[in-house]
Structures are given as structure tokens and as C-alpha cells.
Copies of this chain bind each other. A is one copy, B any other.
């Protein structure tokens, strides 16, 4: 049994970790940390877990719990605000346990870029290089051997997986890449903010973070690795009145063949099939089928589809995932499975819930 600690267990991503790990056959939760609900039974905060999880929340508001926890837990998930995880790790901790961080602290290799987009000073830059960007389908081998996983963002996972094969194959002009993303409201977290009240979100759609959302550099960096040169994109997130789900609609100009012809639907399908045919959690949809968030809700799948527009010479690539599962807790558990040598889908064999 892998002993697991969860720091920040009472946010939506933390609670999804609890839900998944409570029925994971090879994991046992030994610690649930929370700042706002310290001392309360977890199942009083998340009534769905009543009679399923019996632990009480432990105060994780300062770092004092970490030394002890690192001795008890084989792996610690940190589902915490930016900056918290970087403030918790040190050599002692890392010699005892593994860290899977669901925040952005170790995602961006260039610490200046991190500090600029996030507006905070990085507390542990010495571990950035060691940390592996935990996009399982892309970095599986490196994940096996690391002590620190930087678990990717929700928008990022969806945006990258959707474009990755085309960027890597050099079939699109990355200077033209535009990512128009739509997210359910759980991505905004469980903090009590007026803007996230039911009546403010329901019957509404809006863009936010236009030109400056923090997931932008993360997408750019990873796609840059795929093609070997700098990538600069427009990324525009939107808030949609639903609980879960992210849909990305990505536009890019196709690079023509030397004879002036566009890549065909079949050529592109082959590119995608080659990239993902062996991947359980990425489903390339049949030609003509667009991804929909309802078909992945509650699961660890990412669905991908695309369409070539001969009129404009562009491809429209679309991807859908559940922001709390593949976009957060599910991928974190997938990373754990890889790190501990388990079958990658252990505890993640949850078909999407519909309706």
C-alpha cells in the first residue's frame, strides 16, 4: 500500500484526489491537510464522502507538519495555491518522500518567466530543474524516476495534448496558433467570491484573463519543446455555466506541402493516431466528430477531434477533458501510478458519467 498525504485536501482538486484515492486498490490516505477546515471531519466538508472517508482535516497552514508527514507518506500531493509547495520542500523532505504538486510552482523551467506571470518570488528554484512536467503521455519515462512532479494545469493539459502532434510534426505555423478555451466553474476553485456565485455564473458566458492568463507561458514552453523553437500564442479562457469540463478550440494555419497542397484529413488523422493510439486516456475521435465535455465528465480521458478548412487553409483542433480529473487529480494519480510502477490506469478506470 502506498501511503498518501494530501495537502490542500478541501479544495475541489484536493477533494477529487480524496475521492479517487479512497477507492484506489494500492493507496491508503494517511493525511488530509486543510487551512480553513482544520479539525473538522473531511466528510462534514464534503458530504459525498460520508461513511467513506473517516479522517479529520489537519491544519496545513504553516509548514511544520511536513517533516513528520514526509516520514509517514510515500507520496505527498500538494493541491495548494501558487507558492505554497515551493515553501514546503527541502532536501530532508525530498529524501523521505515524493512530491506531486498540482500548483504551478515547478511547471515553468525559467524562473523569471514564473515570477513575472505569477507575481511572486520562487522559494525553491533549486528544485525546478529536477522537477518533471507531469504530462504523462509526453513525459512518461522521466516521470518514472523523479522525486518531484509538476502536475500540469487544466487548460494546459487540454491545450497541449490537442495541438502536440501537429506542432511536433511541423504541420502548422505556430505563429498563427490561437487557443480559445472554455471551462466549467470548478476551475475557479471553492473560495467564496461574489463573481463565482450561482446567480453570477448561471446564464452567462464571458472571457477573462484575455492576453495574460497564467497558463499561457506553460503552454508556450511545452509546445516549444515539441517543435524546437519558441512558440508565442493567444490563449483566451472563458467561464461556462457548468461544473466540470474544459473544451479548447485551437486555430492554426496549415503548412502546405511543397506542391502547394494542404495536408489532408487522412494525413492529419494518421499523425494523431500515431501519437495517441497506444494511449488509453487520449481518445482520437472518428473523422467528423467534435469533442464534447459531457463525454469525458468524471473521467481521466481527453477527447480530440479536428477539421481542415480548405477555404482558409487552417486546421481547427478541438480537445475536451474534465478539468478536475485529467486536468488535475486524475493526472496526478496517473503520475503516482507511473512513479510507483503500477499499471497506469490503476484506480482511474472510471467511465465518463453521463448525463
Tell me if A49 counts as interface (CB < 8 A to partner B). Answer: yes
What are the residues of chain B within 8 A of A83 when measuring CB–CB?
none
Per-residue contact bits, chain A 136-179, to B (CB 8 Å; 1 contact, 0 not): 00000000000000000000000000000000000000001010
Of the candidate stretches A92-100, A123-131, A303-311, the one touching chain B is: A303-311
Of the candidate stretches A68-76, A106-114, A204-212, A332-340, the one touching chain B is: A204-212
What are the residues of chain B within 8 A of A84 when measuring CB–CB?
none
Tell me if A273 counts as interface (CB < 8 A to partner B). Answer: no
Could you jot down 18 A-B contacts, CB within 8 Å? A19-B353, A48-B296, A48-B354, A49-B351, A50-B285, A185-B202, A196-B199, A197-B197, A198-B243, A200-B294, A202-B202, A205-B247, A206-B294, A207-B290, A207-B318, A210-B316, A211-B311, A241-B242
Minimum CB–CB distance from A103 to chain B (whole Å) comes to 20
- If A193-B197, A206-B291 are given as contacts, then 19 extra A-B residue pairs at C-beta distance below 8 Å, sorted by A number, are A12-B199, A22-B351, A46-B354, A47-B285, A47-B294, A48-B351, A51-B283, A182-B205, A186-B199, A190-B199, A192-B194, A205-B293, A206-B247, A211-B307, A234-B251, A234-B316, A240-B240, A243-B355, A298-B298
